[in-house]
Amino acid sequence: MKLSGQTVVITGASSGIGAEAARKVARLGATVCLLARRADELEDVRACIETAGGSAYAYAVDLSDAAATDAVAAQLLAEHARIDVLVNNAGRSIRRPVKESLDRVHDYERTMAINYFGAVRLTLALVPRFLEQGHGHVVVSSSMSTQVPIPLFSAYLASKAALESFTRSLTAELGHDGITSTTVYFPMVRTEMSGATPIYQAMPMLSADKAANWLVKAIVDKPTRVTSLPGAMGELGMAALPGVVTKVSQPLFRRMDKSLAKRVRD
Ligand X SMILES: NC(=O)c1ccc[n+]([C@@H]2O[C@H](COP(=O)([O-])OP(=O)(O)OC[C@H]3O[C@@H](n4cnc5c(N)ncnc54)[C@H](OP(=O)(O)O)[C@@H]3O)[C@@H](O)[C@H]2O)c1
Residue at shortest CB range from ligand X: 16
Interface with ligand X, residue 123, by CB under 6 A: no
Interface with ligand X, residue 109, by CB under 6 A: no
Q: How many CB atoms lie within 10 A of CB 169?
A: 11
**Shortest distance in whole angstroms from residue 23 CB to ligand X:** 13
Indicate which single residue of 170, 186, 234, 245 sits in contact with ligand X (rule: CB under 6 A).
Answer: 186
Residue 135 CB contacts under 8 Å (≥ 6 apart), including other chains: 84, 178, 179, 180
> Given its phi and psi angles, is residue 29 left (phi above 0), alpha (psi -120 to 50 degrees) or beta?
left
**Shortest distance in whole angstroms from residue 178 CB to ligand X:** 25
**Interacting residues with ligand X between 25 and 64 (CB under 6 A):** 36-38, 41, 62-64
Backbone phi, then psi, for 257, in 5-degree steps?
-60, -40
Name the DSSP class of 57. Answer: E
Interface with ligand X, residue 231, by CB under 6 A: no
Partners of 226 in beta bridges = 184
**Shortest distance in whole angstroms from residue 192 CB to ligand X:** 4
Task: Report the sign of the C-alpha dihedral through residues 187, 190, 193, 197, in that order.
Answer: positive
Interface with ligand X, residue 182, by CB under 6 A: no
**Shortest distance in whole angstroms from residue 13 CB to ligand X:** 6
Interface with ligand X, residue 76, by CB under 6 A: no
CB-neighbour burial class of residue 151 (10 A; exposed 0-12, middle 13-18, buried 19+): middle
Please tell me which residue in 57, 59, 156, 185 is annotated as part of the active site.
156
Indicate which single residue of 6, 8, 18, 234 sits in contact with ligand X (rule: CB under 6 A).
Answer: 18
Q: Return the closest-CA partner of residue 141 out of 35, 234, 67.
A: 35
Interface with ligand X, residue 141, by CB under 6 A: yes
Tell me if residue 156 is catalytic: yes
Residues that bind ligand X in the complex, under the rule CB under 6 A: 11-18, 36-38, 41, 62-64, 89-93, 114, 141, 143, 186, 188-189, 191-194
